[in-house]
Amino acid sequence: MLYSVAETKVMEAGAPLRAEAQAPIDNRVLLINASSYIAAAAWGGLAAALAYKGIVRSVWSKSMFDYSVFKLLVKMRGSGTRMRILQTLEKPMNRQQLANELGLDWKAVDRHIEVLLTYGLIKETSEGNGRVKHYILTEEGKHVLELLEKLSQISSSQ
């Protein structure tokens, strides 16, 4: 085995050079000591997540909305786009205007519009000769936006 110059000087001095020569460290003790802190942090994080989930469900259920609406706007795939559509529809717009405003394909906007219409968060109005359909927020849609803003403030304060 090859040793560096510094190692050979230490060997000549008679001091222990390698970890094998020193008393072994019991890794199990280190793991047990560290794992108690890790477990406490994990349980604390879980408790905070469950508390927040309980707050969300409580606030949402008090608003008389079905929890499926919350999942539609917050948890499901495409929920961010649906939220942006609701926020953009403060004034009446057609599908193409929405697509241009949000930088999306009009087909994607069309799919999200259909979902929002189904849940009653927006409504369709016809202007002029009835060929161009505009969409606006319903009272429920406005209430949902206010509620989600409230939940956002709660989550940022925690």
Q: What is the pLDDT of residue 91?
A: 87
| C-beta neighbour count of 144 within 10 angstroms | 24
In CATH, what number does 65-157 get? 1.10.10.10
3-state secondary structure of 2: coil
Q: What is the pLDDT of residue 121?
A: 87
Query: How many whole angstroms separate alpha carbon 137 and alpha carbon 30?
Result: 59
Q: What is the pLDDT of residue 101?
A: 92
Q: What is the pLDDT of residue 36?
A: 62
What global pTM score does this model have? Answer: 0.55
Q: List, in sequence order, every beta strand (DSSP E) within 1-158.
A: 122-127, 132-137
Sort residue 78 into left (φ over 0), alpha (ψ -120 to 50) or beta: left
Ranges in the chain, pLDDT < 50: none
Q: What is the pLDDT of residue 60?
A: 59
Q: Where are the domains of the chain?
A: 24-62, 65-157
pLDDT tens-digit profile of 92-126? 898 899 999 999 998 989 988 998 898 888 999 88
